[in-house]
Amino acid sequence: MEVDNARSYNTKRKRGGDSPPLPASNGNPSNDNDSDNFDLSLLEVAEKSQKESAVEVLDLRTLKKLVLSFERRYKENIEARLKYPDQPERFADSEIELHQELQKLKLLAGGPELYPDLVNLNTIPSILGLLSHDNTDIAIDVVQLLQDLTDEDVLEDNDEPARVLVDALIENNVLELLVQNLQRLSDTDPDEMSAVYNSLATIENLIEVKPAVAELVCERTKILRWLLGKIKVREFDSNKQYASEILAILLQNSTANQKRLGQMNGVDVVLQAVAMYKSKDPKSSDEEEMVENLFDCLCCLLMPLENKERFVKAEGVELMIIIMKQKKSAYGSAIRALDFAMTKYPPACERFVDVLGLKTAFAAFMGKIPMSKKNKKERYQEELEERIVSLIASLFGGILRGSRRERLLSKFVENECEKIDRLMELYIRYSDRVKVETERMNQLELEDLEMDEEERYNRRLESGLYTLQLIAVILGHLWCSEHSRMRARIELLLKQHKLTREDVKDILQEYHDNIGDLDGPEEKERAQSRIQKFISAF
């Protein structure tokens, strides 16, 4: 969203009621030659100042000149407000001049290499101090300035100057001030809505330069609560979309933020937000992107164990099954969320079976998925396949005995073992894909492009090895059930494709050898023990 840098506006009489009305633009300037005394609108003033400053070369001398002029106007405005607190008309001119100086400072975005000098001139505290200005329009100017200075395109190839600026902004409480400002901006005024967008953009830009900001902003401010408030609103707008995106960014690589949001009833709020789309599709591509952001948030939230528990208690499993049954555009996202919820969490697997989710899941597994423009795309279908394979592997890992286990196993016997046929079809396809990638890497090595074992393994995982391993794990569960019909079907299909049990064992062995200890050494040992059992059985 572009915001006009030289916008014409009226100062609102609010938050203290002491801000004078700034001259409003009436469109084109008057052509009446006798009207020499008309007030220039801020738009015209800004255009004039930009033309005057455009001829100057942006160097250290220009920077010092801009800073000195800004600091002078800043000081004059403070003095005028202190001297005439109840007479807004007495400090109106200083407010307009301050606005002009803030517009001029935007020129600095054209020279990010000067940012360390800007910091050394100690101007950052003054700029940020204006975020709390009684005149909301001045605060809006500052937000626009910050967004311009930290813009991704501006900071590209200027890593060190960017870090210097970002560090100075954070040291001077930019995060706290931006979020406080967010809390006082309205959802109805167009200018303030633009300021909301620019505030979020600035926070995103800061995270881009310094990833630690993602946790800092959640520790120091109430941004998570503010974002939850935005996504709860039923009506869609661009700021709700951006709020969902920022929330996803804050959650994606931070266990601390995931846990923090979970403690704030975040799982329930995000579920309520996605529930709006259980039986309807988004009306635009922007709204569709927001729904995907919300599901990204949900999947990130489902990483910590305690949030999986909250998800089950909030009937998240049931909601995802309803979304799948409705066959709307969120179909694939619901499968993804269920996969996250059931990974290493048996209670979610048990609930899924209890609320009759197996029929819906296996319809997807058999390829009976709703068709739309989105999911006709080959990559979408592949992702869906990979997710549903992972979900079924999680079910087998979470339900180890009892009637639920029997219900799960029986799915592979019904209709002449069609689901084992489908499993082997996927096994062959992913096996072929991994072989192609392995041959490609071998060719690259012949051409003197060396790869270490870890890189080779990761490339094979990306080409489909991980899904192939999960298919082999599911086959291991079926084989270990000692069900004669299943075993006979698996043997027959392996033979038809000129494969043996040794081939499945090889895949399981590689999986076994590469299980990491992210969840601790005990969990690693348990996981390896389960896979070793399958290897022995084959």
The encoded tokens of residue 458 equal 């990761």
**Is residue 446 packed enough to be buried (19+ CB in 10 Å), middle (13-18) or exposed (0-12)?**
exposed
Residue 448, pLDDT score: 67
Residue 156, pLDDT score: 85
- Among candidate residues 184, 149, 186, the one with its CA nearest the CA of residue 165: 149
Q: Is 48 helix (H, G, I), strand (E, B) or coil?
A: helix
Which backbone phi and psi does 156 adopt, to 5 degrees?
-60, 135
Distance CA 106, CA 127 (A): 12
Residue 41: its H or E element: none
Residue 372, pLDDT score: 61
Tally of CA atoms within 13 A in the half-sphere of 505 that contains its CB: 9
AA identity, residue 33: N
**Greatest C-alpha distance within the chain:** 102
pTM, rounded to two decimals: 0.84
Residue 21, pLDDT score: 40
The three-state (H, E, C) secondary structure of 124-180, written as one string: HHHHHHHHHCCCHHHHHHHHHHHHHHCCHHHHCCCHHHHHHHHHHHHHCCHHHHHHH
DSSP E strands, 199-316 = none
- Report pLDDT digits (tens) over 164-175: 999 999 999 999
Dump the DSSP string for 297-345: HHHHHTSSHHHHHHHHHTTHHHHHHHHHHHT-TTHHHHHHHHHHHHTT-
Residues 6+ apart with CB under 8 A from 319: 271, 274, 275, 278, 334
- Among candidate residues 367, 362, 462, 352, the one with its CA nearest the CA of residue 397: 352
Residue 216, pLDDT score: 96
- Report pLDDT digits (tens) over 308-362: 999 999 999 999 999 999 988 899 999 999 999 999 999 999 999 999 999 999 9
Distance CA 402, CA 407 (A): 9
Residue 186, pLDDT score: 84
Per-residue pLDDT of the chain (538 residues; tens, 9 = 90+): 333 333 333 333 333 334 444 433 333 334 444 434 334 455 555 555 555 444 467 889 999 999 999 999 999 998 888 887 777 777 788 889 999 999 999 999 999 999 999 999 999 999 999 999 989 999 999 999 999 999 999 888 888 999 999 999 999 999 999 999 999 888 788 999 999 999 999 999 999 999 999 999 999 999 999 999 999 999 999 999 999 999 999 999 899 999 999 999 999 999 999 999 998 999 999 999 999 999 999 999 999 999 999 999 999 999 999 999 998 889 999 999 999 999 999 999 999 999 999 999 999 999 887 766 655 567 778 889 999 999 999 999 999 999 999 999 999 999 999 999 999 999 999 999 999 998 888 887 666 677 788 888 898 999 999 999 999 999 999 999 988 999 999 999 999 999 999 999 999 999 999 988 888 888 889 888 999 999 999 8
Angle, helix 285-301 to helix 238-252, in steps of 10 degrees: 30
Distance CA 135, CA 19 (A): 6
Tally of CA atoms within 13 A in the half-sphere of 383 that contains its CB: 13
* Residue keyed to tokens 């300021």: 195
**Is residue 525 packed enough to be buried (19+ CB in 10 Å), middle (13-18) or exposed (0-12)?**
exposed
Distance CA 93, CA 36 (A): 18
